[in-house]
Amino acid sequence: MESRELYMMWINWEEQIVSFHEVPGFDRLPFGTEENWQANIRILLTEGFRFQ
């Protein structure tokens, strides 16, 4: 069985904060490809989310 790396981010939707490390109370969002992960980072940036 092939092991695939997951690209992760954690999001607090109310505060509009994104983290690349696990944070209690944040929703975990896994992405199967780096391209999808990067595309979502760009979308969240344009939506005004803050990154920590």
Residue 35 belongs to domain spanning: 7-51
Residues 23 and 39: beta-carbon distance below 8 Å: no
Instruction: Tell me how many domains the chain contains.
Output: 1
User: Mean pLDDT of all residues in the chain?
Assistant: 93
| Closest alpha carbon to 5 in 31, 25, 24 | 31
In a domain, 2, yes or no: no
DSSP of 8-33: EEEEETTTTEEESS--TTSEEEEESS
In a domain, 40, yes or no: yes
The band of 50, judged by pLDDT with boundaries at 50, 70 and 90, is very high
User: pLDDT tens-digit profile of 14-32?
Assistant: 999 999 999 999 999 999 9
Task: With respect to residue 1, please indicate whether it lies within any of the assigned structural domains.
Answer: no
pLDDT value for 2: 52
